[in-house]
Structure 1
Amino acid sequence: MTDERTKFLLPEDQMPTHWYNLTPDLPTPPPPPLNPATKQPAGPADLAAIFPEALIAQEVSTERWIPIPDAVAEIYRLWRPSPLYRAHRFEQALGTKARVYYKYEGASPVGSHKTNSAVAQAFYNKQAGIKRLCTETGAGQWGAALSFACQVFGLTCDVWQVRNSYETKPYRRIQMETFGAHVTPSPSDRTEIGRQLRERFPDTTGSLGMAISEAIEEAAKDPHANYSLGSVLNHVALHQTIIGLETLAQLELAGERLPDHLFACAGGGSNLAGLSFPFLHENLTAGASVHVRACEPAAAPSLTQGEYRYDFGDTGGFTPLLKMYTLGADFVPASVHAGGLRYHGMSPLVSAAYDQKLLDAVAIKQRDAFAAGVLFARAEGIIPASESNHAIAGAVAHLRAADNDADGQVVLIGLSGNGQLDLPAYADYLSGTMIDA
């Protein structure tokens, strides 16, 4: 076995030309969002105040393949196709006979997979004549991605960052501000819902649900602004499927079969959906048997401990009701470092797939996640994002438990981003001061 990583780079002219929509392949159609006042299925009119028509059409589409606009593909080519690696040294560190691959999204302009949807959303809003986008962000990957995309298309970007991450990850804020965004810690005094939340929860570290409410409130009162979401919704999952589509082609390029096991981190669901949905397509339409495992934080275990029911996507109750696995819109998770996973609910499409037993899930404690991340970094030379560590930890637990059963297995890990701006989290782990949430 070689000590070198093996990199599989897809030629640029083979980059996917369409995104993949899981909806038409689900055995049972996903339940529709509901208007919270009437409890009837929400239609385009319920979303038109904060989203452009093109994204609403993608949100409700039953088409399997959605073309990627040329202008979006042009920006994608700054970093796509992203590399697939065979993790030889990681295999050696684990002492496994499995063949382990990881799809690396950390080479994007802001270091994570979030740019895949940010570029698309900024493009469609620009086409619709919108001048400003309002959004939330947890750890800051999504806020940085949208800040970059808005700069590309000449839009103003206003970001509400979860207070815990705003205070513990200052370099994410600086990254967003470098691209021209205005960043506010949430909950804030800038919005009515923010002031209410600060009164109800005076010592809160914030949550994605709170930040979403503030961004929606701000967008709804400005006729030149729209809201933009980095996870959860169908159109976000759609844009991220370029990850899995590339990976399918790269495994073929490597002369490899489909993976036996796929591990991806899961918070709102965009990264998990992006990597796994094209493989679920192979399972549902071609008789493949790829086992997909969502690796969520034990601090916000929506799939493993949540209820599958209708709930608001935000704390303030501004969104339509979404059928999803949820811990409750008022849930505020512990202050773990994986800020991008600190969300009370799970993508409706991921939730539907989980409910229909197309994938399973495991909750990972923070120290276990970082132990796996450090092991990976020392073997492969890439420091993973805090969120990505959960996928690595899921794979490590599987490979260590599999023993001889791992001989000949193919394992795929989604490395959703790099951790260059997560080093304070690694300092907490290495110093022994990290909470075991």
Structure 2
Amino acid sequence: MSKKIFLSENEIPEKWYNIVADMVNKPLPPLNPATKQVLTPEDLEPVFATELIKQEMSQDRWIEIPEEVRELYKIWRPTPLVRATGLEKALGTPARIYFKNEGVSPVGSHKLNSALPQAYYNKKQGIKRLTTETGAGQWGAALSFASSVFGLGLDVYMVKVSYEQKPYRRMMMQTWGANVIPSPSNTTESGRSILAKDPNNSGSLGIAISEAVEMAVQDPDARYTLGSVLNHVALHQTVIGLESEKQMDMAGEYPDIVIGCFGGGSNFSGISFPFLRHKLTEGKEIRVIAAEPASCPKLSRGRFEYDFGDTVGLTPLLPMYTLGHDFQPADIHAGGLRYHGAGTIVSQLRKDGFIEVQAIPQLETFEAGKLFANTEGIIPAPESTHAIAVAIREALKAKEEGTPKTILFNLSGHGLIDMSAYDQYMNGNMKNYQLTDEEIAKTRDSLEKLV
């Protein structure tokens, strides 16, 4: 039995998979926030590169990966599929556990899968500068590297609590030439309005998005980029699942369960959509589970409504499961998962019953991460520990039932720049955050007024 399963460089996918083509019910259209009419490509031109807008609205099943992007993917792709034999033994489970190791990328996470094509399309269009937001810093680091490759300027609005908790991610971005600003900041009207109400605001992805969008639309030579949530980001990430399909076949396996941690949906979509294709088109029996933080439970306790993708209300209105754009998540260490809403594709799939959700308390995630580190030798990112925790739950369930399930999860990144979080966990300085129904209702129930 092989511990690791590799593909050759010529097996890097040539096309991305667009699940919208195979969905029973297509996602509802985004709306222009000013007119409440269906969003047009022209509405998005000041914000995104034209080719990315086409991908966002495409219903084509396959979209070709530019050769220049595929060549850059060769820096680290294909990534290995690994059999978690050490974890299996520790759990005493009959389940076979596999993980796709996206932590081997230069930036330590899956985010580079979308950062490179986004920078490529902007460069091709003649854009000179990009703006973006980042939570834990994984997306910011990825776009910093990609911008450096294509000679683009970059401003990154980094959620303030992560800016303070994760200085090494900030240093990574700066090493690749990015300008990193803690958000909320005084550099934008959006940031100033937030700070006027709450000078000690620790930030959120929604606030950082507001600032980055505001900066982009003021400069005709600039465009905004996003690391999750949107359709074209999910599209780019499907290289993960497309490679995994080939590798699972090489192992003589097909997963019964596919798991990804969930913030806005990028790595979850990347690992799961190619497998969901078989469920949608062939009726293949497979469970797909989104692992979200219990402190930010948009898929499990949010409402399916039109909502803004940012806090201030500069983005289009998106049909999604959301806790409300005013929701202020707890300062958990999985900064990449501290987002109030879910992508429109995942939201529709959730609404139609094609995916499941499990909300995991913070302490359980770090317990799972520490066990994984001790059995597989890889210290996982705090975001990835959510997927590991669900994999452990399902493996123990298989043990109780005596059923040899095959489990696949995405290890979205390593945690070597997140050691302060592990330090807090091991020293007993970490806690779970419990949200009451009343707390969630404060922001969630205001959504009826938007449309």
The TM-score normalised by the length of structure 1 is: 0.98
The C-alpha deviation readout for 1:40-92, integer Å capped at 9, x for no partner, is 11010111001111000000000000000001001100000000001111100
**Is the CA contact 1:263–1:293 (under 8 Å) kept in the aligned structure 2?**
yes
State whether structure 2 residue 135 is matched by structure 1 residue 151: no
- 1:318 equivalent among 314, 318, 328: 314
Structure 2 equivalent of residue 434 of structure 1: 430
Give the root-mean-square deviation of aligned CA atoms. Answer: 0.9
Amino acid in structure 2 at the alignment position of 1:51: F
Distance 1:413 1:235 in 2: 22
The whole-number CA distance in structure 1 between the counterparts of 2:11 and 2:311 is 42
- More deviation, 131-140/35-44: 35-44
Give the drift of 1:99: 0.7
Residue correspondence of structure 1 range 36-435 to structure 2 within 5 A: 36-256=33-253, 258-435=254-431
Q: Is the 8 A contact 1:312 1:322 kept in 2?
A: yes
Amino acid at match of 1:6: K
Amino acid at match of 1:383: I
Which whole-Å CA distance do the structure 2 matches of 1:375 and 1:409 have between them? Answer: 20
**SS of the residue aligned with 2:104?**
coil
**What residue identity is the alignment partner of 2:66?**
P
Contact 2:95-2:399 at 8 Å conserved across structures: no
**Closer, same or farther: CA 25–134 of 1 in aligned 2, 3 Å:** same
Question: What's 2:438 paired with?
Answer: none
* Matching of residue 27 in structure 1 with residue 44 in structure 2: no
Shift of the alpha carbon at 1:401? 2.7
Match of 2:79, as an amino acid?
S
Identity of aligned residues (%): 56
Where does structure 1 differ by over 4 angstroms across 4 or more consecutive aligned residues? none
1:195-242: per-residue Cα shift (whole Å, max 9, x none)?
001112222110000000000000010111000000000000000000
Tell whether the 8 Å contact from 2:92 to 2:399 is kept in structure 1 after alignment.
no
Q: Distance in 1 between matches of 2:78 and 2:250?
A: 13
The answer (yes or no) to whether the contact 2:56–2:232 under 8 Å persists in 1 is yes
For normalisation by structure 2, the TM-score amounts to 0.95
Q: Distance in 2 between matches of 1:57 and 1:413?
A: 30
Distance 1:405 1:260 in 2: 15
What do the CA deviations read for 1:316-338 (whole angstroms, capped 9, x no partner)?
A: 10100000000000111000000
| Counterpart position of 2:444 | none
CA distance in 1: counterparts of 2:123 and 2:267, whole angstroms: 24
State the alpha-carbon separation in 1 of the partners of residues 252 and 304 from structure 2: 40
- Aligned-residue offset at 1:406: 5.0
Shift of 1:404: 4.1
CA distance in structure 1 between the aligned counterparts of 2:189 and 2:36, rounded to whole angstroms: 25
SS of the residue corresponding to residue 283 of structure 1 reads: helix
Amino acid at match of 1:242: V
Residues 395-433 of structure 1, C-alpha deviation per residue, up to 9 Å, x if partnerless? 111222332435321000110000000100000111111
Mark the runs of 5 or more structure 1 residues left unpaired by the alignment.
none
Amino acid at match of 2:140: G
Q: Using the TM superposition, give the Cα deviation of residue 38 of structure 1 relative to its aligned residue in structure 2, in angstroms.
A: 1.5
> What runs of 5+ residues in structure 2 fail to find an aligned partner?
434-451
Contact 1:399–1:406 (CA under 8 A) maintained in structure 2: no
Report the 3-state secondary structure (helix = DSSP H, G, I; strand = E; otherwise coil) of the residue aligned with 1:81: coil
How far apart in 2 are the matches of 1:123 and 1:235?
14
User: Is this contact kept in 2: 1:267–1:340, CA < 8 A?
Assistant: yes
Asked whether the equivalents of residues 263 and 295 of structure 1 are also in contact (C-alpha less than 8 Å), the reply is: yes
CA distance in 2, matches of 1:279, 1:236: 17
